[in-house]
Amino acid sequence: MGRGVPSVFFYFLVFLAEILLFGVLILSLVWVQFYQDGFGWRENVKKEFNLHPVLMITGFIFLMGHAMLVYRLFGCCNKLGAKLLHTILYLMAVPCIVVATIAVFDSHDLRNPPIPNLYSLHSWMGVVTIGLFALQLFVGFFSFWLLLLCEQGTSSFRASLVPIHSSFGLITFMLAVATCVTGLTEKALFSLKNPHYSTLPDEAYYYNAMAMALTALAIIMGYVLHNPKYPPPSPVAFVEGPSSNSHYVMTQHGYVYREKNI
Ligand code: HEM
């Protein structure tokens, strides 16, 4: 059972995804700097709010997007290295998401008069997205690291968690895209009053460009990550099989049987 070589098209799609991942992050930074007065903390809640979109995009889109691409890009080489990089990127997203969440709640609570919390469709979607991310982190740690403490005994259970973890990774990413797009729409409607959003002032192009980049990312990431051709599943653990000259390989899609000398 040989592993295929990723096609030129695969690398083209990854290249496009990279442009979009960097593009949406840079656009958000430029937008906040030039149109929203930059960043601040509790002494200026309007500026504190600006941390929310930028850090949510950093955590949920930029870092999580890269964490998922890592397995597809480096799955061919050093499995442990890919796993470590995947975990580090995921962990780097945690402080971004925590600070982004604190910033948005502060921007409601510390305003005079305070704005009610969790009333909007966007905020409800946000809660589900954050909840799924937390669950992913827990399952990821549980399956990849904690259960390694008892590698042989828990290998089939861990193998059964891998497809769940990878499917929910993509689902969380898609939900994050949808949440970001609803947040951008909401912010555009709040901010662009004079001149109105419908007249397409310069700032409107930033909102629309970020939303379009996110939409394109949803399409490309969905295609690349869901397609078993790009590249085929990578072995993440080796488990001895019933006979001495063979072994089972645990892949993202369960166990496959392989000759030892492959
Ligand atoms: C996956 C990314 C995101 C998540 C998980 C998320 C989550 C949340 C949550 C939970 C709230 C409610 C806070 C409260 O009720 O006090 C909120 C509010 C808000 N978010 Fe986001 N957000 C995300 C991305 C964005 C982006 C990219 C923008 C773009 C500007 C944005 C704009 C807003 C705005 C304007 C509010 C205040 C109004 C409201 O409560 O709906 N969000 N967000």
| Spatial separation of the C-alpha atoms in residues 214 and 176, rounded to whole Å | 9
For residues 5 and 101, the model is more confident at 101
Tokens of 213: 């980049």
Per-residue pLDDT, 203: 98
Give the residue extent of every domain in the chain: 8-233
Give per-residue pLDDT as tens, 134-154: 999 888 777 766 666 777 777
Q: 195 near 201, Cβ under 8 Å?
A: yes
pLDDT band per the 50, 70, 90 thresholds, residue 103: very high
Res 206: pLDDT: 98
Q: Which residues pair with 249 in a beta bridge?
A: 238, 256
Q: Which atom of ligand 1 lies at the shortest distance from residue 124's CA?
A: 10
8-233 CATH, one of 3.40.710.10, 3.40.50.460, 3.40.50.1820, 1.20.120.1770: 1.20.120.1770
pLDDT above 70: residue 62:
yes
Joined together, the tokens standing for residue 108 give 């409601």
The predicted pLDDT at position 84 comes to 87
Tokens representing residue 182 in the block: 């609803």
Ligand 1: residues with CB < 6 A are 52-53, 56-57, 60, 104-105, 108, 117-118, 120, 122-123, 126-127, 129-130, 176, 179-180, 183-184, 186-187
Kindly state the average pLDDT of the residues 187-198.
96
Residue 100: alpha-carbon gap to chain centroid: 15
Q: DSSP per residue over 73-93, as a string?
A: HHTTS-HHHHHHHHHHHHHHH
pLDDT class of 177 with cuts at 50, 70, 90: very high
Per-residue pLDDT, 159: 78
- Give the list of residues 6+ apart from residue 44 with CB closer than 8 angstroms, or none: none
